[in-house]
Amino acid sequence: MHSRRSFLRQGALAATASVAGPAILRGQSPVHTVGIIGPGGMGSNHVRTLAKNPRVRIAWLCDVDRTRLAAAAKTLADAGGGTAKTTGDLRQVLADAAVDAVWIATPDHWHAPATLLALAAGKHVYVEKPCSHNVHEGRLMIDAARRTGRIVQVGTQSRSTAHVRAAIERLRSGAIGTILAAKAWNSQLRSNIGHVPASEPPDTFDYDTWLGPVPHRPYHENFHPGRWRWFRAFGAGDMGNDGVHDIDIAAWGLGVDTHPRRITGSGGKYFFDDDQEFPDTEYVSFEYDSGTNEVGSKKQLIFEQRIWSPYHQEDAENGNAWYGTEGMMLLAKSGGWKIIGKGNKVIEEHPRGTPNLAAHHANFLDTLEGKSPEGAHADIAVHHFSSTLCHLGNMATLLGRTLHFDPATEQIPDDTEANALLKRDYRDHWATPQQV
Ligand SMILES: NC(=O)c1ccc[n+]([C@@H]2O[C@H](COP(=O)([O-])OP(=O)(O)OC[C@H]3O[C@@H](n4cnc5c(N)ncnc54)[C@H](O)[C@@H]3O)[C@@H](O)[C@H]2O)c1
């Protein structure tokens, strides 16, 4: 259940996929022609970072918000990346045979539909986290990646961040003994988004395409930009927003490469009186069981969230703890880590580090070129487990009962109400996945 082998295996599947098609040689390195879909918030970080990367030429910028599209073009030029074609229709980017990879930084409800279209068009995909809007979509993405032989890397950049990778290596080497439990916490200080009535979208914003396959609903200023993540039709709350990074690291360190069998959640809106639909206070426990009586067969992952905290926990706004039979490790993805052993002695400390977006891009490009021994560090098949934790955690809290999940079928036997939440409704739209 926990071994160096599983650490390496996590990206290995991706390494077997075929190498990208079109690439022009500039010196020694192939140059990848790419498109950025949704270069608004996080997408603009990708533009800024990739503009400086000699292995990439950004040929397309695509955003349904014309104001943000113009801003992204300026960001690209200012960062030294030259000019790119612009569009509000991602199908134009996918129709360009010169493009070998796309970055998808749209809201979550577009992640799977856009990824499936991109894979069908033969593109490799770097898609933001959480990979999916719901559990079923994650499975469709894995199937499509394997069918097309294309790489799908998910935007949990801590997977390529040196101090986090060093921490996981130490856990794998037995530094705290057999690890039986892990904790991830998300203690943000978010804003009250108020109660805002429906209104007309701005002229510069193609709201219908922004909605995509989501059944039509009136525009709401609290949807765009960024605040869509607080609504169930579009996002996964803060567990799927900042929390998914820490949940992903917790599961990685715990050494689980399957789904939990039992999920219990509690919480709600204890602080904010506003339009947000997800809990601001949440506690979820995920239990893993590989079915033997050996120590290490049963494991627990705990997630805590308070998004009204003007203080940090254990010196980390977001953090992780792993509890082993010989000691514990505390880690902050934007900080350092330490190991505490018997008698509460700090027995090892690691200097501070910060999430490294450029390294995660480099790992994706290395994988396209067949140069990454481990493949994509956040391959879709690995990341799907982490996004699923967020979806199941939110479901357990919403339903207020323990969910008994079958990792093999990705179903909750004998619970029709819960199973319905593993999927969502779509409207008749060009981006609605054929398989739903
Ligand atoms: N990896 C990280 O550290 C990190 C950090 C922040 C956000 N994110 C992720 O990035 C994604 C975007 O988050 P954000 O905060 O930037 O949201 P945002 O709303 O600020 O930006 C999303 C952009 O996508 C555009 N868009 C929506 N649908 C589109 C479509 N069909 N075609 C083209 N453009 C479209 C929007 O107009 C907007 O400009 C989310 O998945 C989020 O979880 C990741």
pLDDT tier at 69, thresholds 50, 70, 90: very high
- Give the pLDDT confidence of 276-297 residue by residue, as tens digits: 999 999 999 999 999 999 999 9
The pairing of beta strand 328-331 with beta strand 124-127: unpaired
Q: Give residues (CB < 6 A) around ligand 1.
A: 37-38, 40-43, 62-65, 68, 90, 105-108, 110, 128-129, 155, 157, 209-210, 212, 224-226, 241
Distance CA 210, CA 212 (A): 5
Residue 207, pLDDT above cutoff 70: yes
Q: Which CATH superfamily is domain 161-192+227-354+386-420 in?
A: Dihydrodipicolinate Reductase; domain 2 (3.30.360.10)
Position with higher pLDDT, 68 vs 3? 68
Domain edges within the chain: 4-159+358-376, 161-192+227-354+386-420
pLDDT tier at 28, thresholds 50, 70, 90: low
Q: What percent of the chain has pLDDT over 70?
A: 94
- Give the pLDDT confidence of 317-345 residue by residue, as tens digits: 999 999 999 999 999 999 999 999 999 99
* The CATH number of the domain covering residues in 4-159+358-376: 3.40.50.720
Q: Is the pTM above the cut of 0.85?
A: yes
- How far is ligand 1, taken at its centre, from the CA of residue 46, in Å? 11
* CB half-sphere exposure, 391, CA atoms < 13 A: 34
